[in-house]
Amino acid sequence: MEKFKGIFPALLTPFDENNRFNEKALEQLMEMNLKKGVRGFYVGGSTGEAFLLSESERKQLYRSAAQIANGRCTLIAHIGAISTDQAAEFGRTALECGYDAISSVSPFYYGFTFPEIKQYYFDLVGQVELPMIVYNIPKYSGVTLSADNIGEFLSDDRFIGVKHTSNDYFAMEQFKSAYPDKVVFNGFDEMFLAGLAMGADGGIGSTYNFMAEKFVKMHTLVKEGRLSEAQPIQKEVNRIIAALIKVGVLKAEKAILKMMGIDCGALRKPFGQLSKEEESYVYETVKNLF
């Protein structure tokens, strides 16, 4: 499980000026983060605009990230879709590309029952021979997986962990204590230290794209029992995240990377873009990172 413990940027998907997938920028983004000591990448998640990509674009993204990584780090493919068959198809691509694990949000929109959601995940692990990391993100999926629900997955060997983008840290402590050998990823970057305190083994986050070094440092300090030294870093990170939340997190992240020399283009519509004023506000907030 060691290869899953640490810092995993939830990769942004870069686009070029014609709104096409930009492999070169993806390479720049991954190389910059590898130099900062990340353990691996979460490819094609919420941050990667998974649900705004066509099927062929998503497959290309999995392939490109695997080629760029070239065995240097751990790769997790987010394969989530509303349809089981489509998610399984993405899972087969991840397997062909040599990914270390697959992950999925719960199927959403139709208000599926928990037995239906459970069947979705078990169908996927039945069809794709890769370990599964369940992705609990109630804010976006509208589905809240309780500690008991999560236990129904973690009791099966094919489920190796959970990515918990939820501020229910009581639940996190409960499923981590019940399954200490499974891997738990903290999802909210602004609560990273809280997650580590409640048992997370690391994190998957969007703001890691441009400030992974801060999370690598906090993770190391906490492992060494130096929590009080990590707290000022979390405060600094939260000052930045508070500004991002005001203007739109993903828009701001792409703008910051452009300021850092990695042009990831715009978000896919219907996302809009930052105004000039918002861009200046973001620049003033993060300029000491450059």
Half-sphere exposure of 151 (CA within 13 A, CB side): 11
Which ranges of 192-248 would DSSP assign to H, the alpha helix?
192-197, 208-223, 227-247
Distance of CA 11 to the CA centre of its chain: 7
**Is 204 labelled a binding residue?**
yes
Which uninterrupted H or E stretch holds 171?
helix 169-178
Q: How far apart (Å, rounded) are the C-alpha atoms in residues 183 and 4?
A: 7
Give the position of tokens 């942004």. Answer: 12
Beta bridge partners of 241: none
Question: In this complex, which beta carbon is closest to ligand NGF, that of residue 163 or of residue 182?
Answer: 163
Which residues neighbour 30 within 8 Å (Cβ) at sequence distance 6 or greater? Answer: 11, 41, 65, 68, 69
Of the residues 7, 10, 102, 262, which one makes contact with ligand NGF according to CB under 6 A: 10
Do 4 and 203 form a contact (C-beta atoms < 8 A)? no
Half-sphere exposure of 197 (CA within 13 A, CB side): 14
Residue 23 three-state SS = helix
Question: In this complex, which beta carbon is closest to ligand NGF, that of residue 155 or of residue 192?
Answer: 192
Active-site pick, 99, 120, 135, 208? 135
Binding map of ligand NGF across residues 228-267, x = CB under 6 A, - = no contact: -------------x-------x------------------
Query: Which parts of 36-55 interact with ligand NGF (CB under 6 A)?
Result: 42, 45-48
Q: How far apart (Å, rounded) are the C-alpha atoms in residues 148 and 21?
A: 39
Give the position of tokens 């009791």. Answer: 155
Interface with ligand NGF, residue 9, by CB under 6 A: no
Do 100 and 3 form a contact (C-beta atoms < 8 A)? yes
Binding map of ligand NGF across residues 135-164, x = CB under 6 A, - = no contact: ----xx------------------------
Interface with ligand NGF, residue 193, by CB under 6 A: no
Which region among 166-174, 185-193, 212-220, 263-271 touches ligand NGF (by CB under 6 A)? 185-193
Q: How far apart (Å, rounded) are the C-alpha atoms in residues 159 and 91?
A: 14
135 is catalytic: yes
CA dihedral sign, ordered 68, 240, 78, 267: negative
Residue nearest to ligand NGF (CB): 45
CB of 137 to ligand NGF, least distance (A): 6
Of the residues 16, 190, 213, 278, which one makes contact with ligand NGF according to CB under 6 A: 190
Interface with ligand NGF, residue 205, by CB under 6 A: yes
Of the residues 161, 187, 202, 248, which one makes contact with ligand NGF according to CB under 6 A: 187
Interface with ligand NGF, residue 206, by CB under 6 A: yes
Interface with ligand NGF, residue 204, by CB under 6 A: yes
Q: How far apart (Å, rounded) are the C-alpha atoms in residues 161 and 100?
A: 13
163 is catalytic: yes
Binding map of ligand NGF across residues 76-95, x = CB under 6 A, - = no contact: --x-----------------
> Which residues participate in catalysis according to the annotation?
135, 163
Annotated binding residues for pyruvate, written as ranges, equal 47, 204
Residues that bind ligand NGF (CB under 6 A): 10, 42, 45-48, 78, 139-140, 165, 187-190, 204-207, 241, 249
Annotated binding residues, written as ranges, equal 47, 204
